[in-house]
């Protein structure tokens, strides 16, 4: 027995190494026999995209040549693998929006062990998330003969477009399309919108809010039309001490369409009333047209009213003496009149507080030579008061040169 044990323990390190090598060779043989390659493709999915960025690519590439180890009885399909790129730590810059991220292939089946795959990493483009507002544009397509359209009414004139900044900045409008039927049915429907660029191409991927607009378009059949002036309708009065000094409207005229009887009764088109109650400054307001039943506007449905408001002014008349300004000491001056009547203008408050001694009425005689001169009457007034008129507006100033007295003869002495 002892001899048998000695035989077993003889050269035991060599024997142990042989056993380890045999196990390794067996394992390698078994694994080599079970390494497989999946022949299909698995699309790559982006996860953890930053909330302030957008993945520009609509579709990422696929993973292929997936090598894996599994028991021979395991059936492998595309659902056995999931390929992802984690964008949580992606750090793009405006100068270099392309970032390289590793691809990870995982499997929900614990019996499958992924060894390798292609590609192991990909480049993706991340743009900042941006929102812009663009106008809504409605296209009606070809117009059936004998029909005309009234003013287009939209539930909203603009929409918000959100997406990657490089994509969103190419959007110029939210486009909706409607079809005009030959039977002259009015358009009254919700129309889906698409983001378009300057040449009419659809831009994607972007989000539009709202993604549809309600469109109302009257379709007129055999209607007459004519162009009428626009009458701005105002309600209310400006604040105390202020007045309306001008009213303008743009455009000054619009084209309308409707039944002949309805158009015959119109000589102007009123606007919806614009309020100027209590205003002290100019008013600019966009208002709709107030059209009677059976009449629609061709094209424009709104106009711009501009009202000029200024402080209320008054005038008062004062009698004042004329002062010479710029008179020379070696001249004499004779005025055709030494008093004038002046009309001063300003606000009621400014004129009410005006002291007659605070202004001067004068004629400027500086530099006038001998003779008669017609000189305008001027006034030096406070800043909030103006000279409206003077009566007379000018006076005749006769400039003379004083005569020096001749020396008298000395008396003769008496005898």
pLDDT per residue as tens digits for the range 138-163: 998 888 877 778 788 899 999 999 98
pLDDT per residue as tens digits for the range 103-142: 999 999 989 999 999 999 998 888 888 899 999 999 988 8
Q: What is the mean pLDDT of residues 51-73?
A: 85
pTM over 0.75: no
Q: How far apart are CA 285 and CA 209, in angstroms?
A: 27
Query: Under DSSP, is residue 279 helix (H, G, I), strand (E, B) or coil?
Result: coil
Task: Give yes or no for residue 72 having a pLDDT over 90.
Answer: no
pLDDT per residue as tens digits for the range 387-404: 888 989 999 999 998 876
**Residue 406, phi then psi, degrees to nearest 5:** -75, 145
Average pLDDT of the residues of the chain: 84
Count of Cβ atoms closer than 10 Å to residue 277 Cβ: 10
C-alpha to C-alpha distances, 152 to 211, 214, 300, 351, nearest whole angstrom: 18, 10, 8, 53
Q: What is the mean pLDDT of residues 365-373?
A: 90
So what's the pLDDT on residue 139? 92
So what's the pLDDT on residue 89? 81
Residue 4 binned pLDDT confidence (cut-offs 50, 70, 90): very low
So what's the pLDDT on residue 396? 92
More confident residue, 402 or 337: 337
So what's the pLDDT on residue 308? 93
Q: How far apart are CA 180 and CA 147, in angstroms?
A: 9
Q: What is the mean pLDDT of residues 194-199?
A: 93
Q: How far apart are CA 19 and CA 5, in angstroms?
A: 18
Domains of the chain: 35-119 (2.170.120.30), 128-221 (2.170.120.40), 224-311 (2.170.120.40), 313-400 (2.170.120.30)
Q: How far apart are CA 169 and CA 208, in angstroms?
A: 14
């Amino acid at each position: 027995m002892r001899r048998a044990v000695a035989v077993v323990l003889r050269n035991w390190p060599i024997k142990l190494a042989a056993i380890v090598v045999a196990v390794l060779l067996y394992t390698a043989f078994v694994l080599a026999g079970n390494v497989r390659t999946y022949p299909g493709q698995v699309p790559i999915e982006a996860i953890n995209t930053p909330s302030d960025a957008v993945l520009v690519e609509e579709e990422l590439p696929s993973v292929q040549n997936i090598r894996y180890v599994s028991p021979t009885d395991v059936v492998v399909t595309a659902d056995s693998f999931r390929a992802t790129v984690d964008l949580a730590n992606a750090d793009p810059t405006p100068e270099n929006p392309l970032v390289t991220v590793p691809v990870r292939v995982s499997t929900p089946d614990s019996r499958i062990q992924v060894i390798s795959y292609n590609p192991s990493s990909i480049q993706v483009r991340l743009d900042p998330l941006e929102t812009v507002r663009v106008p809504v544009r409605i296209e009606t397509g070809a117009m059936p003969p004998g029909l005309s359209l009234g003013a287009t009414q939209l539930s909203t004139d603009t929409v918000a477009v959100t997406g990657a900044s490089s994509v969103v900045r190419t959007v110029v409008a939210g486009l909706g399309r409607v079809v005009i039927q030959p039977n002259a049915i009015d358009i009254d429907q919700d129309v889906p919108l698409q983001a378009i660029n300057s040449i009419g191409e659809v831009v994607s991927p972007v989000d539009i809010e709202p993604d549809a607009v309600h469109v109302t378009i009257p379709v007129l059949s055999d209607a007459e039309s004519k162009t009428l002036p626009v009458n701005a309708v105002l309600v209310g009065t400006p604040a105390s001490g202020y007045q309306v000094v001008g009213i303008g409207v743009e455009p000054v005229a619009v084209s309308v369409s409707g039944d002949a009887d309805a158009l015959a009764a119109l000589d102007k088109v009123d606007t919806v009333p614009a309020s100027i109650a209590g205003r002290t400054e100019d008013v600019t307001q966009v208002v709709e047209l107030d059209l009677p039943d059976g009449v629609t506007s061709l094209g424009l449905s709104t106009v711009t009213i501009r009202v000029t408001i200024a402080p209320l002014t008054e005038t008062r008349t004062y009698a004042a003496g004329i002062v010479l300004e710029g008179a020379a000491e070696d001249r004499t001056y004779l005025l055709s009149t030494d008093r004038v009547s002046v009309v001063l203008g300003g606000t009621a408050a400014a004129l009410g507080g005006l002291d007659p001694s605070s202004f001067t009425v004068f004629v400027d005689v500086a530099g006038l030579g001998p003779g008669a001169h017609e000189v305008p009457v001027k006034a030096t007034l406070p800043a909030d008061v103006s000279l409206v008129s003077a009566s007379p507006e000018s006076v005749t100033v006769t400039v003379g040169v004083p005569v020096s007295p001749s020396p008298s003869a000395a008396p003769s002495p008496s005898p």
